[in-house]
Amino acid sequence: MGGVARAHPIKHGVVVDWEALEGLWERLLVGGLRVCPEQWPVLVSDSPSAPPAGRDRIAELLFETLAVPACHMASTALLALCSTGAFSGLAVEAGAGVCHATPIYAGHARHEATFRLDVAGSTLSRYLRDLLVAACPHLQLQALPRKAITQLKKRYCYVSLDFEGDLRNPDRHHPVSFCLGNGYSVCLSSERFRCPEPIFQPSLLGQARPGLPALVFRALQKVPATLRKRLADTVVLAGGSTLFPGFTKRLEMELEAQCRRHGYGALRPCLVAAPGRGTAVWTGGSMVASLRSFQCRWITRAMYQECGSRLVHEVFD
């Protein structure tokens, strides 16, 4: 399974190396789960902003390479929403590679109102490394393994509710120390809340795009007025990068401010932050696939062989 850990075929939610993905899936199914792909239907989640042509490649990989008996493809946003038992709402995903704000009504994503931000967990881990290197140049922290940086991020970092104020006032910092394997000790101070901040202020990384709260508001603004309140009543958070302490409160504060600023003061978004939201897509997929009413939604291998990849778009788009 060592090769699995090194394979990274997806970048910002989009497959960039199909050969690596094929090898990864094969090792996970056969070597990891110890199942025979020919005997199990597979539900695949894909990014709300992934190119539609990617579904052709997924179907080809599943049916022609792995020879699975059936498959289904669903947006990660829809599955995240389903994990809470809802089929209408606004899914706000912040995972490892990308953030999305996706309005969904009656189980169908509103693609024209979907917004993405290419700042997420992996970006924040690299940013934390840069912050640590700048704070402790004598310790050569560039050599810290990515896994160690990710663990530090998850254990110690949090989202500030007043970033500029906290940055100016050292008394508001809450420093913590951790020991490196070589015996050195490193202190994390303002780095703890500076690390997640680019999700709210991408300009800290030199990106001109708006932060996640602005994109969530734009998604609500873009849907028809008749649907806006209903979707705002169920704003579901999903993905590991939403687990930072303070994330939910900060997003709620900024989203409410966006509504007031743009004349939507009566709109009160209700955020749903379930404890297991880090794996909401997985949970939603398992729930949906177990429903009796879902069983007619599979595309079988025989159907694929008869109709080809066009069936994928007719059924799943």
Answer whether 309's CB lies under 8 Å from 59's CB. Answer: yes
Topology given in CATH for the domain delimited by 10-76+280-316: Nucleotidyltransferase; domain 5 (3.30.420)
The CATH architecture assigned to 80-119+210-279 reads 2-Layer Sandwich (3.30)
Q: What pLDDT is recorded for position 3?
A: 43
Region 121-199: CATH code:
3.90.640.10
Residue ranges per domain, the chain? 10-76+280-316, 80-119+210-279, 121-199
Answer whether 63's CB lies under 8 Å from 38's CB. Answer: no
Structure tokens that stand for 236 in this block: 């579901």
Average pLDDT on 152-180 reads: 93
Sign of CA dihedral 5, 204, 75, 250: positive
pLDDT band at 4 (very low <50, low <70, confident <90, very high): very low
Q: What pLDDT is recorded for position 2?
A: 44
pLDDT digits (tens, 9 = 90+) for 225-254: 999 999 999 999 999 999 999 999 999 999
Q: What pLDDT is recorded for position 187?
A: 85
pLDDT band at 7 (very low <50, low <70, confident <90, very high): low
Whose structure tokens read 């998850």?
Answer: 154
- CA-wise closest residue to 267 among 237, 231, 224, 242: 231
Output the pTM of the full model: 0.93
pLDDT digits (tens, 9 = 90+) for 37-57: 999 999 999 999 988 889 999
pLDDT band at 317 (very low <50, low <70, confident <90, very high): low
pLDDT band at 203 (very low <50, low <70, confident <90, very high): very high
Q: What pLDDT is recorded for position 182?
A: 66
How high is the mean pLDDT of the chain?
A: 92
Task: Tell me: pLDDT of 118 over 90.
Answer: yes
pLDDT band at 1 (very low <50, low <70, confident <90, very high): very low
Percentage of residues in the chain having pLDDT higher than 70:
97
> What's the CA gap between 14 and 171, in Å, rounded?
42
pLDDT digits (tens, 9 = 90+) for 274-300: 999 999 999 999 999 999 989 999 999
3-state secondary structure of 237: strand
- DSSP annotation of 206: T
